[in-house]
């Protein structure tokens, strides 16, 4: 037998078994079909790698239930921690998170899941693998080579595209977080100006109320799920754009008020202060226009890919960009509830 094909076959079979298990569990929990996992295809690599590591590490102790249980816990837990840590570092997103579970370590692993890996190791070594091994030995070598080659090509293509999507999600939530911070900063600066200058204050005193109104606007029912999502994306971008439009209008009014004031008979000190404020407002207006263009020009496809990835991983979290990640997840959840 070609051992390369044999081990690859084991990897794909156990990745498939893991996908069936998690997809069934999450689908029942979510009350809808969820194609679970980081990848598009019916495989969860952590189960494939986990099974191989368990089989290899427990081989010298395959006659001892206790040794298989303990070594299975240790080897699989190390794999899960390293995988979770690396994915969080690369993509700024935790695709699974045990932070709320007792006896967890940095949210990547926890006690009850590690114990589950131990029982899985017993089931794998003493039952499941016995039949899988016999099944693979029945397949002619040339057929097995062809099958593993096909699955390897599909797996590499799937992984490549999924990594791209994960990097796109990272870029999207980073951008959303930066935009939100910029909008918050602009609002704060306008508030500061409004407290200093009466002409400005009178033009923007209600802008916070108008912004809150813009944030709470909801669109009504749509037909298909695709239509719903398109409208939800339009709604999301329009809300952001409306907030920026309100800011822009108030800045414009403030600039006009200050310009009119500068044409009046005022002291040199007041004139300098107003000129400085005017320069600040013009800079803020430029930033608002840039933000508005960036939000409106971002393609729906970017959001759709991100939402699809988050739908497959409903427990995904981010240590540094959680608010932005939640904002993107809410587009899907609101779409689903309509």
What tens digit of pLDDT does each residue of 69-123 get?
999 999 999 999 999 999 999 998 998 989 999 999 999 999 999 999 999 999 9
* CA-to-CA separations, 59 to 32, 63, 84, 115, 123, in angstroms, rounded: 39, 9, 26, 19, 14
Mean pLDDT for 22-47 is: 89
Other beta carbons within 10 Å of 261: 18
Q: How far apart are CA 53 and CA 280, in angstroms?
A: 60
* Residue from 321, 308, 315 nearest 110 by CA: 315
Q: How far apart are CA 239 and CA 255, in angstroms?
A: 24
Burial of 205 (0-12, 13-18, 19+ CB in 10 A): exposed
pLDDT digits (tens, 9 = 90+) for 5-17: 999 999 999 999 9
Instruction: State phi, psi for 106 to the nearest 5 degrees.
Output: 55, 20
Other beta carbons within 10 Å of 240: 23
pLDDT digits (tens, 9 = 90+) for 131-177: 999 999 999 999 999 999 999 999 999 999 999 999 998 998 888 88
Instruction: State phi, psi for 139 to the nearest 5 degrees.
Output: -85, 130
Q: How far apart are CA 104 and CA 113, in angstroms?
A: 9
Q: What is the Cα 317 distance to its own chain's centre?
A: 7
Q: Is the pLDDT of residue 280 over 80?
A: yes
3-state secondary structure of 109: strand
Alpha helices in the chain (DSSP H): 3-30, 45-58, 65-91, 111-123, 129-138, 141-196, 198-204, 207-215, 225-262, 268-297, 300-312, 322-337
User: Token pair 């080579």 is at which residue?
Assistant: 145
* Residue from 315, 310, 329 nearest 232 by CA: 329
Q: How far apart are CA 258 and CA 251, in angstroms?
A: 10
Contact predicate 251/190, CB 8 Å: yes
Provide the pLDDT for residue 202. Answer: 47
Provide the pLDDT for residue 148. Answer: 95
CA dihedral 305, 309, 310, 316 (to 10 degrees): -140
Q: Is the pLDDT of residue 36 over 70?
A: yes
Q: How far apart are CA 173 and CA 14, in angstroms?
A: 33
What's the first-to-final CA gap in the chain, in angstroms?
55
Q: Indicate the average pLDDT of the chain.
A: 84
User: Token pair 């570092």 is at which residue?
Assistant: 89
The pLDDT-based confidence of 244 (bands split at 50, 70, 90) is confident
The total number of residues shown for the chain amounts to 338
Q: How far apart are CA 94 and CA 333, in angstroms?
A: 19
């Amino acid at each position: 037998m070609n051992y390369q094909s044999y081990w690859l076959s084991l990897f794909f079979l156990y990745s498939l078994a893991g996908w069936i298990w998690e997809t069934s569990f999450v689908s029942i929990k979510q009350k809808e079909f969820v194609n679970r996992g980081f990848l598009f295809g019916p495989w969860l690599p952590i189960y494939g790698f986990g099974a191989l590591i368990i089989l290899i590490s427990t081989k010298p102790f395959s006659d001892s239930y206790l040794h298989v249980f303990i070594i299975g816990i240790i080897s699989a837990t190390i794999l899960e921690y390293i995988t979770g840590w690396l994915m969080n570092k690369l993509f700024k997103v935790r695709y699974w998170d045990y932070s709320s579970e007792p006896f967890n370590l940095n949210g990547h692993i926890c006690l009850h899941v590690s114990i589950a890996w131990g029982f899985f190791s017993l089931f794998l070594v003493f039952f499941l693998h016995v039949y899988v091994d016999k099944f693979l030995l029945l397949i002619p070598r040339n057929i097995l080579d062809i099958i593993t080659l096909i699955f390897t090509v599909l797996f590499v293509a799937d992984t490549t595209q999924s990594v791209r999507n994960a990097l796109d999600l990272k870029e999207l939530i980073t951008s959303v977080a930066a935009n939100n911070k910029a909008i918050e900063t602009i609002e704060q600066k306008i508030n500061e100006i409004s407290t200093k200058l009466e002409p400005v204050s009178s033009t923007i005193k209600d802008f916070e109320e108008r912004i809150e109104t813009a944030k709470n606007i909801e669109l009504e029912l749509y037909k298909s799920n695709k239509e719903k999502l398109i409208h939800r994306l339009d709604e999301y971008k329009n809300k952001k754009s409306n907030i920026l439009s309100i800011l822009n209008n108030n800045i414009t009014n403030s600039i006009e008020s200050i310009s009119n004031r500068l044409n009046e008979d005022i002291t040199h000190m007041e004139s300098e202060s107003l000129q400085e404020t005017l320069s600040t407002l013009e800079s803020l207006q430029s930033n608002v226009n840039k933000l508005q263009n960036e939000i409106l020009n971002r393609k729906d496809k970017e959001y759709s890919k991100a939402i699809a990835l988050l739908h497959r991983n409903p427990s995904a979290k981010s240590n540094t960009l959680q608010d932005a990640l939640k904002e993107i997840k809410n587009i899907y959840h609101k779409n689903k509830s309509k």
